[in-house]
Structure 1
Amino acid sequence: MLHIMSGLIVLLFVISPCLVIADRKMTIAEKLQEDTDLSQFLALLDRNMVANMSLQYRQLTIFAPTNEAFQRYVGEMDDNLVLYHISNLATTLNNLDYAISSELDGNPPLWVTRRRDTMHDDIYVNNAKVFITRSYQAVNQNGKLQVLHVIDQVLQPLQPHGPISTSTPVYNPNAYQFLEHSDVFNIGQHRLRSFRQKVYQLQKKEVFNADGRHTFFIPVDEGFKPTARSDFIDEKVIDGHVIPHHVLFTKATPDSQEFESMAFSDNVKVIISFSTTVNGQEEITYVKSNTVAGDTKHSRGVVLADIVRANIPVKNGVVHLIQRPLMVVDTSVIDFLKEREDGPLCKFYEVIMDLGENNQFLKELTLAKDITLFAPSNEAWNEITVQNLIRNHQKLKEILNLHLVRERLPMDAIIHNNMNQIYQAPTAAPRKYLYFNVLNTNSNQTLTVEGGGVNATVTQPNIAATNGFVHIIDRVLGVPYTTVFEKLKMDPMLNITYNLGKRQMFNHQLNEMEHRYTYFVPRDHAWLKFQIRHPSAYKALFRDDFGYYTKQILERHVIRAGRAYTVSDLKLLANETHPIILPTTRDPLKLRVKESDKNYYVEWNGHWIHVFRPDVECTNGIIHVIDEPFVLESDIRATGSADNTRIAYTYFLLLVSYAFVRILGN
């Protein structure tokens, strides 16, 4: 018995330390040891004596990148890098201010961004996102509070590429000191001498020397070719490269969010925003200046520059090195397309050049003085149907002309022209127009453009050129990708016809691919005119018990055959004197076709009806948008008589009910 008791006592002494450890909260050091996803950061920390001493004895905050973050990191990896991830204050997420000092030489700040989205708030340290749920705090063995935040990128400080001269110490430089001593810092092959010279010459040192928190854009020397470009840079342009009072890292800043630059005054107003696109496997971030109000020296419109080195932290904010100066409009439309081999429209330029260096479209882009180009993005050319089209050079020529308007059309002019009517602009393709629609969501306006049956969204409007404007769109116009049914459903101008077609499942046939449809579709405006003339008949078309009549009327508008008919086809078959009779699922459709003042008209039942949008191509047919529905007076009488029949029937039921109640009462 004594033997058993002594054994239990020994076992208790062995187990008790383990129980104490289990009950005690892990320190930050133990947490780092335990989390295998932070092993590379821990190895870096172990090699630095200052970091180890801080972890053992001091209050601190650690920003620890994951192993995956280290695998993506391409910067220099010296033992002092860990100090840029440590602050000597214990700061929880709730207490993070807009900046926190690091332990790296010179104590350069880490900039904090709280990005508020609709679903949740995200927190960034420089350009690294904090994994909010993985933050941890504990007291170390010396009673000092310590905090751990896990982040998704390695923080990269601005560091010299060699020993720094004692005569010009530039630890923790501000933007001006960085610009002045840029040759000392590790920024790759980029040189900033041209822009630095303009800052000196125009005495704008104070702009980059200002205390506070700002965002600076500095064009590299390569962006000053041709050399005459530097002549366009004046004091306003320098101001247009600075966003005051905001420290904007690329990942932490929402795309297209606009910020006022320092060049925002009564006469000139310049706003700046970021945009990100994917080119193959590469993600490219652009900065754009939008001169919304200009003067004789500063043209209105957007200048787009890609960021060649992003997110360089400095004492008074962040610096982004950009490929060319902002605000300077000194290139033509064709020069913009070919400016960079990996530019936002490089695939469009390749397609143009595939037609040969002497093709007519290229000549017009080069020589024309006033044009607007709706240019499909690089991603738009990856569609399979588009890839197949590129091989057909004759069809490609028609498609390219559909993207060109022979006048200057900035976005505000399009919106103004679209206020009281659907604005249509003639293209370089004969008898082909572009049609515009403005969508208002919250405080934003989105412009859509339709050409050849394809509805595209303008993703980047108002890129200014010396001879016009470029609007980047997300689809290639004239290459259909929707069925007749899908086009009806999506087009904001055809809502009423689509909703009428829901009756008795009329629309469903329009999704079939084994037939080709030619559909004369009254636009909403046509139905609203019909409603004014025949209010009761219009109302009846939407009643549940009149679906049969509605279907009959729509059937008269649809030709289902082995082919679809363009307006040109119909004009060849039916001119003003000889009509054509086309079979519909209702009754024969007798039409004549004429062209007047570059517009088409069809004659039906003695009325000449304007074809508002001809040849809207779909994958299984063609839509012709018309300004009047094919409705006969007999259709209206049938609708009206059916309405009267229903009223009479309802009255009859009331009489029967009344008689039945009287009988029961007796």
Structure 2
Amino acid sequence: MMCARLTTIFLLLIVLKRREAVLRKLPVLKYIAQHDDLNKFYSQLYMSALSRSSLNYREVTVFAPVNEAFRRFGGDLNQNLTSYHVAYNAYRLRDLNTYLEPIQKGLPPLWVTKLNGDIYVNNAMILLSRSDYHANNRQDNLGKPQVLHIIDEVLDPIATNLENPQSAYDFLRKSKDYGVKKFVRKIEEYKLEDLFNEDGGNTYFIPADEAMDEYKSKMTDSYIIKAHIIPKRVLFTRPVPKNSIYDTLADVDYIYILLSFLNEKDRYYVKSNTILGDATHQNGEIKSEIIHANIPVKNGVIHIIKRPLGVFDKILTKFPYLPILDKLSNDPYLNITYNLGEKSGFNQLLSQPKKFTFFVPKDQAWSSLKNLYDYDKLLRLGYMNEIKKVLGRHLIVGDIPYSMETLYNASSSNCVYLKTSSGRACFTILYKSGDKKFVIKWNNIYIDVYKANYECSNGLIHIIDRPLVTNSDYENVPEESGSFLQLWNALHKILTS
């Protein structure tokens, strides 16, 4: 009997000791303060009154990024940031599932993914060995349970100062930072807004405007739009099995498009595979780079991609049957030259009953300019005369067109003077036998010919890797031409980089 009493007393002492140990554990806020590699997050907590009060008075789960995560973070450090790292209710690792609601009204959910024994919140990995710290915020009967998990990336809510979390459609329609207006217009044209508003958690891929040329926009129909949605799966780039195949909403009897993720040299891509197609939807694969990844929204995640999925490049008619202007307007790789020609009036020259030799810079040749300068502003009429002169350097008008072989034989090691629309100019044509490519020497600049001798009904096109622009253009800019000076500033950076 005595032995039984002693056993009971001993067990009671163990229970009391354990309870005392729990009560003496540091509250989460103080625990964070004592760890040097969490001090950046701790300092951010004090910028947010909501985060501080929640840790002092509420039952919460906290996701604390390590200092290194803040060093890599390129987003805004605002008051909403820490609020997006604190969720209602206390969730141990074993309890984490699907999504959590952050304490800040208007922010998107925190999406949870479990993969191969690891746990992610949005795109951040939870450091399991350091997580699952739990304690009450007060050491009395009024204390609320709280849990801390340590993560390796900062969670970026993107959207700020909102009354309610944004759906994918709301975000795309209102966003001015990602350049996706053309795809949004296609969504609205086919009245598919509900697919981007529906609950349930989807993954959305949205092509950037730059890739949505006239042809690709025309080919983007309701099936292609649906091929950019993986339903009922919220897939961030890190916690997704690479090369796994996912169904899209483009899944009908005669159109069937699948998607998969790829990771190559630290870049993420999405690949579409049209398994079943028709005359408009060609079978085959298209790979598109993810250029803005992991944008959380109320109903899933958005990835901005470099080109639309399921839409192949236009197969052009052989050019003897096309005049040069039609070639330019239909070729998706020559859009910039065509658009500048339209706005400046230069393209009217191509309607003359003449034969032309046209050195056309491909879009990629203008891409540095597009990165340095707002391309939409280039199309304002303020300096169209100057742009017309620049384009005129690329055009030779005559009775016969000149092939690259003809120009090469005429120039040899010396230059051949050609009459361009902007005046007489000296060209020397060289040939790289190893690469089997022609090179144009113009004003001591060497320019590769990307593709020579495109035949057209009224002449020849030679696609080149750089516009015909020099440093002297920059130096001789009229001072009164302010907007044009900005253009040449951008060009000067290209020439000197």
Superposition deviation, residue 309 in structure 1: 0.6
Superposition deviation, residue 63 in structure 1: 0.4
Partner of residue 312, structure 1:
295
Q: Equivalent residue of 1:313, what SS?
A: strand
User: Hey, what's the Cα distance between the residues in 1 that align with 2:168 and 2:129?
Assistant: 34
Alignment of 1:255-654 (within 5 A): 255-278=242-265, 283-331=266-314, 355-358=435-438
Partner of residue 402, structure 1:
none
User: Hey, what's the Cα distance between the residues in 2 that align with 1:52 and 1:317?
Assistant: 28
Q: Any idea what the Cα deviations from partners look like across 1:176-231, whole Å, max 9, x if unmatched?
A: 11122123xxx3xx311111111111111111111111001111111113x22211
> Structure 1 pair 104/332, CA: closer, same or farther in 2 (3 Å)?
farther
Partner of residue 320, structure 2:
none
Q: Report whether the alignment pairs 1:214 with 2:202.
A: yes
Q: Equivalent residue of 1:259, what SS?
A: strand
Alignment of 1:46-85 (within 5 A): 46-85=46-85
Q: Report whether the alignment pairs 1:172 with 2:168.
A: no
Partner of residue 205, structure 1:
193
Q: Is the 8 A contact 2:105 2:163 kept in 1?
A: no
> Structure 1 pair 325/339, CA: closer, same or farther in 2 (3 Å)?
farther
Q: Report whether the alignment pairs 1:151 with 2:179.
A: no
Q: Which runs of 5+ in 1 are unaligned?
A: 1-19, 343-351, 368-666
Q: Report whether the alignment pairs 1:111 with 2:111.
A: yes
Q: Is the 8 A contact 2:63 2:149 kept in 1?
A: yes
Q: Is the 8 A contact 1:170 1:177 kept in 2?
A: no
Q: Any idea what the Cα deviations from partners look like across 1:110-151, whole Å, max 9, x if unmatched?
A: 0001112xxxx1111000000111111111214211000100
Partner of residue 129, structure 1:
125
User: Hey, what's the Cα distance between the residues in 1 that align with 2:31 and 2:191?
Assistant: 52
| RMSD of aligned residue pairs (Cα, Å) | 3.0
Q: Equivalent residue of 1:297, what SS?
A: coil
Superposition deviation, residue 356 in structure 1: 4.5
> Structure 1 pair 23/319, CA: closer, same or farther in 2 (3 Å)?
closer
Q: Which has the larger radius of gyration?
A: 1
Superposition deviation, residue 49 in structure 1: 1.7
Q: Is the 8 A contact 2:273 2:285 kept in 1?
A: yes
Superposition deviation, residue 53 in structure 1: 1.4
> Structure 1 pair 353/295, CA: closer, same or farther in 2 (3 Å)?
farther
Q: Equivalent residue of 2:84, what SS?
A: helix
Q: Is the 8 A contact 2:273 2:284 kept in 1?
A: yes
Q: Report whether the alignment pairs 1:101 with 2:136.
A: no
Q: Any idea what the Cα deviations from partners look like across 1:78-108, whole Å, max 9, x if unmatched?
A: 1221000001210111111201001123242
Q: Is the 8 A contact 2:107 2:157 kept in 1?
A: no
> Structure 1 pair 58/207, CA: closer, same or farther in 2 (3 Å)?
same
Partner of residue 481, structure 2:
none
Q: Equivalent residue of 1:42, what SS?
A: helix
Q: Equivalent residue of 1:231, what SS?
A: helix
Partner of residue 193, structure 1:
181
Q: Which amino acid aligns with 1:299?
A: Q
Q: Is the 8 A contact 1:40 1:70 kept in 2?
A: yes
Q: Equivalent residue of 1:218, what SS?
A: strand
Q: Which amino acid aligns with 1:355?
A: D
Superposition deviation, residue 28 in structure 1: 1.1
User: Hey, what's the Cα distance between the residues in 1 that align with 2:264 and 2:363?
Assistant: 17
Superposition deviation, residue 47 in structure 1: 2.4
> Structure 1 pair 23/196, CA: closer, same or farther in 2 (3 Å)?
closer
Partner of residue 32, structure 2:
32
Aligned length: 316
Q: Which amino acid aligns with 1:263?
A: A
Q: Calculate the TM-score normalised by the size of structure 2.
A: 0.59
Name which structure has the greater RCO, CA cutoff 8 Å, separation 6+: 2
Superposition deviation, residue 58 in structure 1: 1.1
Q: Is the 8 A contact 2:99 2:110 kept in 1?
A: yes
Select the residue among 227, 232, 238 that pairs with 1:245.
Answer: 232
Select the residue among 128, 137, 141 that pairs with 1:140.
Answer: 137
Q: Which runs of 5+ in 2 are unaligned?
A: 1-19, 317-330, 334-361, 368-431, 440-449, 456-497
> Structure 1 pair 197/48, CA: closer, same or farther in 2 (3 Å)?
same
Q: Any idea what the Cα deviations from partners look like across 1:411-448, whole Å, max 9, x if unmatched?
A: xxxxxxxxxxxxxxxxxxxxxxxxxxxxxxxxxxxxxx
Give every structure 1 segment of 4 or more consecutive aligned residues whose post-TM-superposition deviation is greater than 6 Å.
20-23, 332-336, 338-342
Q: Which amino acid aligns with 1:195?
A: F
User: Hey, what's the Cα distance between the residues in 1 that align with 2:150 and 2:434?
Assistant: 50
> Structure 1 pair 28/158, CA: closer, same or farther in 2 (3 Å)?
same
Superposition deviation, residue 340 in structure 1: 6.6
Q: Calculate the TM-score normalised by the size of structure 1.
A: 0.44
Q: Equivalent residue of 2:241, what SS?
A: coil
User: Hey, what's the Cα distance between the residues in 2 that align with 1:266 and 1:22?
Assistant: 60
Q: Any idea what the Cα deviations from partners look like across 1:306-350, whole Å, max 9, x if unmatched?
A: 1111100000000111111110011579989x98799xxxxxxxx
